[in-house]
A and B are shown apart, each in its own frame.
Chain A
């Protein structure tokens, strides 16, 4: 049972344009969400997070949006840069569980 889903395995975007990565979840107990970026042969790197009490969080070029009613979150990267090419994972956690559930990842390719 995949509680966190990233339905797009890959995404290609032109440099300078917006990249939108999507994530859906099924467990209504999740109250904290994170995005990680992963390059080959490296561990995932934390990008940005959002608590369920917010619907938006921004950090530089990265913005995460949370729609609790739809159980959906998205990561916007503006403008996209070639160095953003990586696999992006969303993850979710519920209070008191001490674990994160990760999606299967979306491979983003930013074309120069």
Chain B
């Protein structure tokens, strides 16, 4: 079974631009979560989607948004990029998103904002 895939793997953007990251979950997984990882901060939860519905979101500004499609693929968008948005963005999928099901992570998208 193919793992979680994320595209692109690396991205360089300029302050003020916007960016869209893509995540394809493991086949059969309907829950997709997004995390931001920065040095010293661990993984910070962005949001979780299940069957195209956002069920929870973390403490991030409205510039961060996401969506999920009917095939469970998900995208996240960051508008008006700031230098502090430079991070590794990780996507994880699980069967249902319930706490009893472990999440499987993709390799991440490394975003650099200059």
Select B107's contact among A34, A41, A102, A104, beta carbons within 8 Å: A41
Q: Is A27 an interface residue (CB 8 A)?
A: no
Select B99's contact among A36, A97, A104, beta carbons within 8 Å: A97
Chain A 64-111 residues near chain B, CB threshold 8 A: 89, 91, 93-95, 97-105
Q: Are A93 and B99 in contact (CB under 8 A)?
A: yes
With A43-B105, A43-B108, A45-B105 as known contacts, state yes or no: A100 contacts B45, CB within 8 Å. yes
Q: How many CB-defined contacts (below 8 Å) exist between A and B?
A: 63
Q: Are A98 and B50 in contact (CB under 8 A)?
A: yes
Q: Are B42 and A89 in contact (CB under 8 A)?
A: yes
Which chain A residue lies CB-closest to B58?
Answer: A99
Q: Is B84 an interface residue (CB 8 A)?
A: no
A residues near B (Cβ < 8 Å) are 6, 31-32, 34, 36, 41-46, 49, 51, 89, 91, 93-95, 97-105
Report the interface size class on chain B.
20 to 34
Task: List the B side residues contacting A34 at CB < 8 Å.
Answer: 102
Task: List the A side residues contacting B55 at CB < 8 Å.
Answer: 98
Given contacts A43-B4, A46-B103, A98-B48, 19 further A-B contacts (CB under 8 A): A43-B90, A43-B105, A43-B106, A43-B108, A44-B90, A44-B105, A49-B102, A51-B100, A89-B43, A95-B98, A97-B56, A98-B33, A98-B50, A98-B97, A98-B99, A100-B33, A102-B42, A102-B45, A104-B40
Q: How far is the CA of A100 from the CA of B114 in the complex (A)?
A: 30
Q: Are B107 and A44 in contact (CB under 8 A)?
A: no
With A43-B106, A44-B105, A51-B100 as known contacts, state yes or no: A102 contacts B50, CB within 8 Å. no
Task: List the B side residues contacting A101 at CB < 8 Å.
Answer: 45
Q: Are A46 and B100 in contact (CB under 8 A)?
A: no
Task: List the A side residues contacting B41 at CB < 8 Å.
Answer: 104
Q: How far is the CA of A89 from the CA of B4 in the complex (A)?
A: 19
Which chain A residue lies CB-closest to B59?
Answer: A1
Q: Are B100 and A32 in contact (CB under 8 A)?
A: yes
Q: Are A99 and B43 in contact (CB under 8 A)?
A: no
How far, in Å, is A57 (CB) from chain B's closest CB? 13
Task: List the B side residues contacting A95 at CB < 8 Å.
Answer: 98-99
- Among A44, A45, A97, A102, the one with the most B-chain Cβ atoms within 10 Å of its Cβ is A44
